[in-house]
Structures are given as C-alpha cells and as structure tokens.
Chains A and B, each alone.
Chain A
Amino acid sequence: MNVAAFVLLAAMLAAYVLLDGYDLGVGAVHLLFSRTDRGRAAAFAAIHPFWNGNEVFLIASGAALFALFPKAYAAAFSGFYLPLIIVLWLLMVRGMSIELRGHFESELWRGFWDVAFCIASALLAFVLGLAMGNLVRGVPFNGSGYFQGTFAFLLNGYALAVGALALLALSMHGAAFLWMRVDDELRESARRLTRFLWPLVAVAFIGVTAATVIAHPITGHPGLWIAPIAALVALASVAFAKKVALALAGSSVFLLALMASAAQTLFPHLLPAFPSGTGLDIYNAAPNAYSVGTAFTAALIGVSAALIYGTIAALRMMRAK
C-alpha cells in the first residue's frame, strides 16, 4: 500500500509538472516569444482558462503528501522554509499577472505585468528544479527528524544544474504548447523557439543524468534504464517534429520520463539523508495502514474523476477555438 501511495504521489506531481509546466514555460519564454502586445496577449489568452486547474495539481499533491506521509510533509516544508515561502510569493505574483494584465488598456500596466509574469514563471521553474535536485541529493537531518535547509546548503552545483534543466525543459514545453494554441506568424515564432531550445535541453539533460548516475549508479533491474532512454527518444522527436502534435507529445513524454527517473532514484525514500543516514522513507514517515489506505483511496478516486471531467470539459472548450 505504501508503495502504491508513493506511485500515486509521483503521478500527481508528474501531472502537475506536465500541466502547470506548460503555463510556467509560456511565462518563461513569453518575452522572447513576441515583442508586440498582440502576441503577448495571445500568450496569456492561451493559458488563461487552464492555469488555475493546473495549479490545483500542486495543491492536491501537497495535500496528498500531508495525508499520506505527514512526517515527511512536516519535515520537508519546514526544512525548506524560505525557498518554499519564496515559491509562494512567486506563485502569487504569477497568478496576479495572469488575472490582472487584461483589466486595463494602459501600456505601462501591461508592460509591468509582462515582466513580472516572465520573471516569476522562470524563477518558479528554476526553483522547482532546484528542489527536485536537493530531494534526490538528500538533506542534512538532525537527530529529531527535522533539518534546516539554508541557501548555503541548497545552492549546490548538482541542484543548480537540475534547476537549469527544469527551466529549459519547461520553456521548451511552453513553446511547444504555444505552437499549438496560437495562429499565423505567432505560430512560426513558437515553432522557432521550440527548435532553438531543444539542443540546450539536451545538453542539460545529459549533464544532469551523468551526474545522477555517478552518484546513484543504476544497479539492479535493467528496466531502470527505460526512463532515461525514453527521455532521449522523446527529445529527439521534439527536435525533428514537423507537426506540433508530435513536438508537444515529445516534450510531454520527456517531462514524464524525467519525473519517472527522479522518482525511481528516490524510491523508497521521500527525503533521503545527506551525506548518509536513514532519512524519511515511505514506511517510517507513514501513519497506520488505515490512514494511508483512506488517503490513497480518496486521492485516487478524486484525481481520476477530475482527470475525466477535466478532459471532457477541456476538449469541449478547445473544439471551438
């Protein structure tokens, strides 16, 4: 049951990365994407109906972690105190810029929110990667199951590299999404951006994967190679895609494969200890089996239902552009 709970949690986070990933990516690239107000407005319009629903995956994942593994939630959120609060502030700035930009015609007003949106989105993508990097690397637990993640500790080479990878990969994902959602010459601009980004993503990916494999050699089951190889194939499909559907599918599979690699490196830990020690895993951070089972069932039903009605609603809305 605890393993199933881990998989569900990883899947919810992956869904978050996949979905909010494109609107974060749109934000990160949107100043590069177009210099005109029309183009930038089109970028906002492309994500406006979806961003809130996407962000619910973050809230739901956080809450699911809380219910399934309360001790890991408590340790991680208090340990990464300041970085998380900064994430919150960035999320607020981003939400404000998406919702408020359209309310006034003024050029100054829009220009302000354009830049705020871009900076907040890019930083968020980077910080999410940074957090992921530090999760895989481990955190310095004290004796009582808590730790203090100061910036001096968190800003290490490995985590910074994962942060860069996240920023680039989400930017590419966002560009591919724009490619699908906008028209005419804007479409061409999105396509060029996607083309421009993939080699950078490839470099970052190979670097990070090499560093990860050196630190956590892939031993045991050869099936563990599937995720990194799938990521490479997916990236190649973005590189050679003529059709937007293939590019978007490629970047989606790429992100999923990244999350899968991270999850399999982490398993069965939720928060490994650095440099060594026991840390928190899916057994010692979990309450009784009834509690885990209840949270698992509730989350599974809720998320599946949401995926079904969410997809139906999104398809109905997209049918008429």
Chain B
Amino acid sequence: MEGALIADRIQFAFTIMFHYLFPIGTMGLAPFIAFYTVKGVRRHDERAIAIARFWAKIFTINFAIGVVTGIPMEFQFGTNWAGFSARAGSVVGQTLAMEGVYAFFIESVFLGVFLYGRRRVSPTFYAFSAVAVWAGSWLSGFFIVATNAWMQHPVGYTIAKDGTIELRSVGAVLLSPFAWWQWAHVMTGALLAGAFVVAGVGAYWLLSRRHLEIAQRIVRAGVIVGICASVVAIFPTGDRNGAFVTRDQPAKLAAMEGLFNPERDAPLAIFGMPDTQHDVLIDPFYLPDLLSFLAYGDFRANVNGLSSYPRDERPPVELTYYAYHVMVGLGTIFLGIMALGVLLLFLHRLFEMRWMLWILMLAMPFPYVANEAGWMVTEVGRQPWIVYGLLRTTAGPSPNVVAGETIFTTIGFAGMYFLLGVLFLLLILREIARGPES
C-alpha cells in the first residue's frame, strides 16, 4: 500500500508536470494569435496574418502534444486514484466533465477551422475562430483550475452516509473566489511564458538578422505584454493567492516561507536552507517583519510556524520551500528584465542593444520553470491532504493496483515522453529556423 502510494505520486507528478508544459504554450500563445489574426483581417495587414500563422504552427505542435499527454491525465484519476475518484468524483468529476464538453470541443472545432479554413470560410469567421480557440484554451484552464482549487479549498459539498463527498452546490464550486484568483494567476503565468517566447524568438531573429520587420514587431509585443503580465503575476494575483493560502492553508504558508516556529513580527526569508532535523533555516538572510506584513497587512501580526501543527499535518518542507523561492525569485527577475526591455523600447534603443536581445532570447525557458515551480508549491504544499482537510492522500490510490504495475507503466510513460519531448524540440526548432511565410 505504502509502496503503491509513492509510485502513484511519482507517476502523477511526472505526467502532470510534463503535460503542463504544453498548455503553457497554447494558453500563452493563443491570445497573440487571436490578436494578430483580428488585426490582420480588419486592417488587411498581411504581415500580421503571417505572424499569426507562424505562431499558429507553434501552437499546433504544442496542442497536439498537449492532447496526447492530457488524455493520460484524465484516465489516471480512475486508473491510479480510484479511492480518490470514488470518494470525491461527485465533485471533481463535474468540473472535469465540463472541461470536456465545453472547452475541449470549442478548442478542437475552431482550431480545425482556423488551420484548414483560411480559404474556405469568410474572413470574419476565420478571425472569430482564432478568438474562439483562445477562449476555449482559457476556459479549459478555468475548469481544470477550478478542479484543483476545490481540492485546495473544498466548498459546496456534503458528506454522504458512506463517507463519500458529494456535490451540494455547483455554483459554490464554480464561483469560489479561491478558484477565480488561482485561475487569474495561472493564466497570467501562461501569458507571461507566451510573452517571453514571442519576444525571445523575435530577439533570435534580430540577432541572426532575419525577418527584421516581423521580428521587431513581435519583440515589441512580447515586451509590452511581458511587463504587464510580470506585474500582474506579483500583484494582484500572486498576492491574492498568498492571502488565500494564509487563510485556508496556514501549514502550507509556513512550509513555503520556511517558518518553523510561530512568530510575532515574523521576518521574510529571502535565502536560507531548511534543516528539518533541527527545525531551523541554515544561513538565512531575513528582511525583518516583512512576512507578518505580507501575510496579514500588519508588521506586528502573529504568523503560525510549522510547529503549530501536528507532524502528520505538515507538508514536506524542503520541496515546498525551494519551489516557492524559485517562483518568487524568478518572478522578480522577470519584472526586472521586462522593465528594462520596455525602457529601451521607449528610448528606441531596444533593437540595437544586442546584449538585451541575448537576455530576451536566453530567458525563454525560465517562465516555464517558474510555472512548474508554482504548481509544486501548490501541490506538494497541499500534502498530506488530497482534498484539503477532508481526505488524506493515503486514501487516494486504487486499492486493486499494486506498486509493480504503476512502476511498469511509469517506465513506459517515461520512454514515451522522452520520445515526445525530443520530437517536440525538433519540430519547434525547425519552425523557428524556417520563420514566417513571406
């Protein structure tokens, strides 16, 4: 049982983290594609259409791999987490089913129209389908985040006689403020990644002196969207997510911040390595009183530490702590990069500053790291609960699937995903090398 649980968790973590790489690309690029398509159609701007079609190619590759890695996610709730599904399916099944019948259908139908219909449907319908693809992908993000938000902070349920969790109010689940703020933060994270990719590819073309006019246009767009998204990722969305964690999951907050003991005027640890043997931070660098302020808006407020909770209700500290610091650290750096980019843009110097273009190009992978790190905070910090406060993770796995089976299939997934990853990089790099159609 214990072995099966660990195998299931590793498999889930691996497959979801791999899957999530591709929705970042689609949700992050879809708004750019919609923008350039609408602009191209309305202003008869052929170059905007060419930009949109270039990003649509990248989008399609992301989408295809998002689909083939997404189906295993949907299946895994049943195959590996039957205990969780049987007990909580009445709620989590709802949002997942809505994702299927609302978002995925919209996305796939209109992506078909957008990709194959340019010469077959009217320009207006063509532009509409680009916007619909964007709406579909963000809607799909909403339903999946609503599912996750419910697992973080369950609402709108009742407990049946046999102990299963059953839906009481679908409105409460879908309108939960926790879900909406989490969604806003996740979409911002994806948009930020999209902006870095758009700016980064443009910077690469400028550095290699190709497609100059298009490259300048997309670097400009990437930097402008990037600064907005960097700000919104921190405030209000990151801040609000932190506030919900403080209110609903205080043990997670303590792990994120590496706060072992409850403190009045708690300091914010910028750096330091948690030592869970002795419950201290090694080599800490603190900003005094700041954590109390960020958590409660009051420098004097008391913040609970890990020791305020029984050992069997504490999440793993190291992973949660480092993942959180990676996300926030990168988020701060992104703001810096994009602020510099915008400054140079307004000084009309951006396209000549080769070092800045190098930075933009090399920064491309990091928003992906920040997004994955954010999810690690959320998910590892939720432990030991699979549904916070209601159902422990130990009750989640399928009772009839043993560790050996899960290890076997995990190895299979690892092989398959390795192949997928290589093919993905190959295709993406080839499209970038080819560039937009003239």
Contact = CB atoms under 8 A, between A and B. Distances in A.
Are A and B associated in one complex?
yes
A153 interface: no
A71 B84 CA distance: 10
B333 interface: no
Contacts of B110: 313
Interface of A: 48-50, 52-53, 55-56, 58-60, 62-64, 66-68, 70-71, 73-79, 81-82, 84-85, 88-89, 91-92, 95-96, 99-100, 103, 142, 144-148, 287-288, 290-291, 294-295, 298-299, 301-303, 305-306, 309-310, 313, 316-317, 319-320
A74 B89 CA distance: 9
B401 interface: yes
B427 A103 contact: yes
Contacts of B89: 66-67, 70-71, 73-74, 287
B71 A287 contact: no
Contact of A73 (B85, B168, B412): B85
A73 B94 contact: no
Interface of B is mostly: helix
B390 to A, nearest CB: 15
B117 interface: yes
A88 B76 CA distance: 10
A299 B100 CA distance: 9
Contacts of B101: 60, 63-64, 298-299, 301-303, 306
B242 interface: no
A80 to B, nearest CB: 8
Interface string B167-182: 1101000000000000
Contacts of A298: 94, 97-98, 101, 170
A85 B409 contact: yes
4 closest cross-chain pairs (CB), A and B: A77-B78, A70-B89, A302-B101, A67-B93
Contacts of A103: 427, 430
B109 A62 contact: no
Nearest to B121: A316
A88 B85 contact: no
A144 B101 CA distance: 32
B167 A290 contact: yes
Interface of B: 60-61, 64, 67-72, 74-75, 77-80, 82-83, 85-94, 96-102, 104-106, 108-113, 115-117, 119-121, 125, 129, 158, 160, 164, 166-168, 170, 398-401, 405, 409, 412, 416, 420, 423, 427, 430
Given A50-B112, A81-B405, A317-B112, A95 B167 contact: no
B82 A291 contact: no
A74 B83 contact: yes
A291 B94 contact: yes
Given A68-B97, A74-B78, 18 more contacts: A53-B109, A63-B93, A66-B96, A67-B90, A70-B85, A70-B93, A75-B86, A81-B400, A85-B412, A89-B412, A103-B427, A148-B400, A287-B90, A287-B160, A302-B98, A313-B112, A317-B112, A317-B120
Contacts, number: 222
Given A91-B71, A287-B160, A313-B110, A67 B94 contact: yes
A300 B402 CA distance: 36
A63 B166 contact: no
B86 A49 contact: no
B82 A84 contact: no
Given A67-B97, A82-B405, A302-B102, A287 B164 contact: yes
B79 to A, nearest CB: 5
B83 A52 contact: no
B77 A66 contact: yes
A150 B321 CA distance: 42
Given A60-B97, A77-B78, A81-B398, A53 B423 contact: no
A295 B97 contact: yes
B78 A73 contact: yes
Contact of A56 (B69, B87, B108): B108
A64 to B, nearest CB: 5
Contact of A95 (B67, B98, B121, B164): B67
26 contacts: A55-B71, A56-B100, A56-B104, A56-B105, A60-B100, A66-B89, A73-B86, A73-B93, A81-B409, A85-B409, A88-B72, A88-B75, A95-B68, A99-B64, A145-B86, A147-B400, A287-B166, A288-B90, A294-B167, A295-B93, A299-B101, A302-B105, A313-B110, A316-B121, A316-B125, A317-B121
A308 B69 CA distance: 28
A316 B120 contact: yes
B92 to A, nearest CB: 8
Contacts of A144: 399
A243 B97 CA distance: 39
Nearest to A300: B101
A142 B305 CA distance: 45
B75 A317 contact: no
Contacts of A147: 400
Nearest to A93: B416
Contacts of A287: 89-90, 160, 164, 166-167
A52 B75 contact: no
Nearest to B164: A287
B300 to A, nearest CB: 46
Contacts of A59: 70-71, 74, 100, 104
B76 to A, nearest CB: 9
A68 B64 CA distance: 28
